[in-house]
Structure formats: structure tokens, C-alpha cells
Amino acid sequence: MVPALALTVDGMREVGASAQGGRFIVLFDPNRLIAAIARSGDRAAFAALFDHFAPRVKGLLMRGGAPAELAEEVAQETLLTVWRKAALFDPAKASASTWIATIARNLRIDIARREIRSRLSQVYEILDEEAPEQPDAMLSGAERDARVRAAMTQLSPDQYRVVELAFIEGFSHQDVADRLAIPLGTVKSRLRLALSHLRGRLEDLR
């Protein structure tokens, strides 16, 4: 059974914002929206999904240093891909956010490296089809993602910042150290602590 992603921090924010606007209260449930698109090409569901995710994909890319124009294009293409591939989304494998983040990553590579006809996004797709075979796969992707999300909120601001730099901006440890003006050893230990904290939260499930 896949729990609806109700009442994540973002869900709460949406509830607050729309209540303030005095219109209606919605629990944002991306899995249900994606299912509605898959089932019947539901354009209202698509609009809701777009309103939530497109500005976040754009924000994530710009946070990583992409120019606004590229970030906008990747965000548009990402949501179009969600529309086209809605029926392929498997909530047992990953949360909607993780699925959409990987689509955005692949499209950023395709679009940024268009002139050289990069094939790297195909490599990610081939790996994505390789199913994990161990019993650990019984830990559903949605459950894993919820754990990771919870663990992320427990990181110290310092740890969160190095994770963000390493993941969003793709900085090497040395780049992160230069950027934050802290020693390389500190970057490595913060990241190691952050990752072991995340893994610790996942170990309980095995």
C-alpha cells in the first residue's frame, strides 16, 4: 500500500496558502494527479502538478547555477515528460518528487549538451530499468523516500548546505570547500555524517 504524500512540509504550506486565500483547501497528492493523467489525460490534474513542480524544477536548476532560460525550458520539458510518461510512473519504485527530479536531471543533460548529442540520459534510463533483486527491494520506494525526506529535515544547517552544494550544484568536495571557505576535511566529514545519518534512517527498515 502506498501512503498518500499528505501533509509533507510542502503539503502543509499549500494548505496554509489556499486557506489564507479563502478559496479551498487541497491536500496535494501528486500520485493521485499522475494517476489521473495516466488514466484519462486529465488536464486539470496536469495543471495542478505543473503549478507545484515546474517552479520547483526551475528553482532547483537556478540554484545549481543554470541560467533562467535553460531552467525554464528544462522545467517545461520535465512536466511535458510527466504528461507523456504518467502511465509509466510506479509509486512503489520512487516518490513523485524523486521520479520528477530524475526526469529533470536527464533533460538538463539532454538540453545543455544538445549540440554534442549527449547520450548520457539513455545511460540513466538503462540503469533505471535494472531492477534491484535483493529482498531490500521490498522496502518500497515511497517508504524509502519518506525516510530520506524525514532524515534531511534533521540535518544541521551546515550539513544541509554541503549536501545541497554537492547535489544541486554538483560541486566536488574541493569546490564546496572553496565556496564555503572551510577546510576540505570539514566538507568531507560533514558530508560523511550527513550520508551516514541518511543511511542510518534507512538501515532500520532492513
Partner 1 sequence: MSIGHRPSDETLTAFAAGQLDEGLALVVACHIEADQESRRRLRELEAVQGALLDAVEPIPMASGPNPPATAARAEPGPAAAVPMSETGMPKVLHPYGLGPWRPIGIRIAMRRVEVPGAGARVFMLRAGPGIALPHHKHTGVEWTTILAGAYEHEYGRYAAGDFDEADTEHDHTPCVDPVEGCTCIVAMTGSVQLQGWLGRLLQPLVRF
Residue 7 gets the label, from left (phi > 0), alpha (psi -120 to 50) or beta, of: left
- Which CB atom, from 83 or from 158, has the smaller least distance to partner 1? 83
- Smallest gap from Cβ 200 to partner 1, in A, equals 12
Q: Does 103 bind partner 1 (CB under 8 A)?
A: no
Tell me how crowded residue 194 is: count the other CB atoms within 10 A of its CB.
22
Residue 90 zone, left/alpha/beta (φ > 0; ψ -120 to 50; rest): beta
Write out the binding residues for partner 1, residues 159-178 only, by CB under 8 A: 163-164, 166-168, 170, 172-173
| Dist CA 85 CA 89 (whole Å) | 7
Q: Contact with partner 1 (CB under 8 A): which of 12, 113, 154, 185? A: 113
Least distance to partner 1 from the beta carbon of 80, Å?
7
Q: Taking CB under 8 A as the rule, does residue 101 contact partner 1? A: yes
65 binds partner 1 (CB under 8 A): no
79 binds partner 1 (CB under 8 A): yes
In the chain the first and final C-alpha atoms are separated, in Å, by 18
Using CB under 8 A as the binding rule, whether residue 26 contacts partner 1 is answered as no
Q: How far is CA 57 from CA 43, 63, 98, 149, 201, in A?
A: 20, 10, 11, 17, 26
60 binds partner 1 (CB under 8 A): yes
H or E segment to which residue 133 belongs: none
Q: Are 3 and 142 in contact, with CB atoms under 8 Å apart?
A: yes
* Nearest residue to 141 via CA among 97, 107, 103: 97
Assess 31 for contact with partner 1 (CB under 8 A): no
| Cα gap 180→175, rounded to integer Å | 9
Q: Which stretch binds partner 1 (CB under 8 A): 4-12, 17-25, 178-186?
A: 4-12
Q: Please report whether residue 92 would count as binding partner 1 according to CB under 8 A.
A: no
Tell me which of 14, 18, 56, 180 binds partner 1, using CB under 8 A.
Answer: 56
Q: How many residues bind partner 1 (CB under 8 A)?
A: 85
Residue in 33, 145, 177, 190 binding partner 1, rule: CB under 8 A:
145
- Are residues 112 and 52 in contact, defined by beta-carbon separation less than 8 angstroms? no
Provide the minimum distance between the beta carbon of 204 and partner 1 in the complex, in angstroms, as a whole number. 14
